[in-house]
């Protein structure tokens, strides 16, 4: 199901690390749901959401600049719930 988000991110901006931890939590929750759902349609939707959260995590780790990484972190932290976070991805 793809490569996991990096577990050992160090970054000069603490909010980037915090945002990555948020992405990891959402990814873990989605992985748990994928394992427990029986419907192929539901799993397809969950897999799409996994891609979205991985994109956000990738941008935090490999953004084009620290400014971009900080902006992505700010956007992640502005999300009120997991659904908003997935919409962002």
Task: Output the pLDDT for position 18.
Answer: 92
Q: pLDDT at residue 47 above 90?
A: no
Q: Name the band, by pLDDT with cuts 50, 70 and 90, for residue 32.
A: confident
pTM: 0.80
CA distances from 44 to 28, 51, 65, 72, 81 (A): 16, 11, 33, 26, 21
Q: Name the band, by pLDDT with cuts 50, 70 and 90, for residue 46.
A: confident
């Amino acid at each position: 199901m793809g490569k996991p988000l990096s577990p050992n991110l160090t970054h000069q901006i603490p909010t980037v690390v915090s945002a990555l931890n948020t992405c990891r939590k959402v990814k873990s929750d989605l992985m748990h749901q994928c394992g427990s759902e029986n419907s192929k349609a539901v799993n397809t939707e969950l897999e799409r959401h996994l891609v979205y959260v991985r994109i956000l995590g990738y941008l935090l780790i490999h953004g084009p600049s620290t400014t971009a990484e900080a902006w992505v972190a700010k956007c992640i932290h502005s999300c009120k719930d997991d659904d908003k976070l997935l919409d962002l991805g």
